[in-house]
């Protein structure tokens, strides 16, 4: 069974500085990987996805993530944080079996002025 570990429960950055949210995964098969964002009192919104095409994936709002098979990682980055990026971020792994998408515990991103 696959699993995902988000290495930081909370990340705090200053506005305009880079963001790095770390995710490691475990999967027996070629995984699909996703990042979702949850703003306060909102549902989950898909940021980006990796599905065995290009290893560097670009998403919405300037976010991107790189799939590194040798490191079993899928870290989320953004060059310059904006106040509106403050939210909770979830890394998700799927092995292609539709009912088995595993969520990480989440990383709360705080952006300081």
Partner 1 sequence: DADVTQTPRNRITKTGKRIMLECSQTKGHDRMYWYRQDPGLGLRLIYYSFDVKDINKGEISDGYSVSRQAQAKFSLSLESAIPNQTALYFCATSDLAAPYYGYTFGSGTRLTVV
Which residues contribute to the site for partner 1 (CB under 8 A)? 9, 32, 34, 36, 41-46, 49, 51, 90, 92, 94-99, 101, 103-106
> What is the closest distance, in whole angstroms, from the C-beta atom of residue 59 to partner 1 in the complex?
11
Dihedrals φ, ψ of 61, to 5°?
60, 25
Contacts of 73 (CB under 8 A, 6+ apart): 22, 23, 24, 25, 66, 67
**Residue 63: closest CA among 40, 26, 89:** 89
- For partner 1, the closer of residues 72 and 108 by Cβ is 108
> What is the closest distance, in whole angstroms, from the C-beta atom of residue 38 to partner 1 in the complex?
8
User: Are 25 and 73 contacting, i.e. CB atoms less than 8 angstroms apart?
Assistant: yes
- For partner 1, the closer of residues 15 and 22 by Cβ is 22
- For partner 1, the closer of residues 14 and 52 by Cβ is 52
- For partner 1, the closer of residues 32 and 73 by Cβ is 32
> What is the closest distance, in whole angstroms, from the C-beta atom of residue 63 to partner 1 in the complex?
14
CA atoms within 13 A on the CB side of 81: 21
């Amino acid at each position: 069974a696959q699993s995902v570990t988000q290495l930081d429960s909370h990340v705090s950055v200053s506005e305009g500085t880079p963001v790095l949210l770390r995710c490691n995964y475990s999967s027996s098969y070629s995984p699909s990987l996703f990042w979702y964002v949850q703003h306060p009192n909102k549902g989950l919104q898909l940021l980006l996805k990796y599905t065995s095409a290009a290893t560097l994936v670009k998403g919405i709002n300037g976010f991107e993530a790189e799939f590194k098979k040798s490191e079993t990682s899928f870290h989320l980055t953004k060059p310059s944080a904006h106040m509106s990026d403050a939210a909770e971020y979830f890394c998700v792994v799927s092995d292609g079996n539709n009912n088995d998408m595993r969520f990480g515990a989440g990383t709360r991103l705080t952006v300081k002025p």
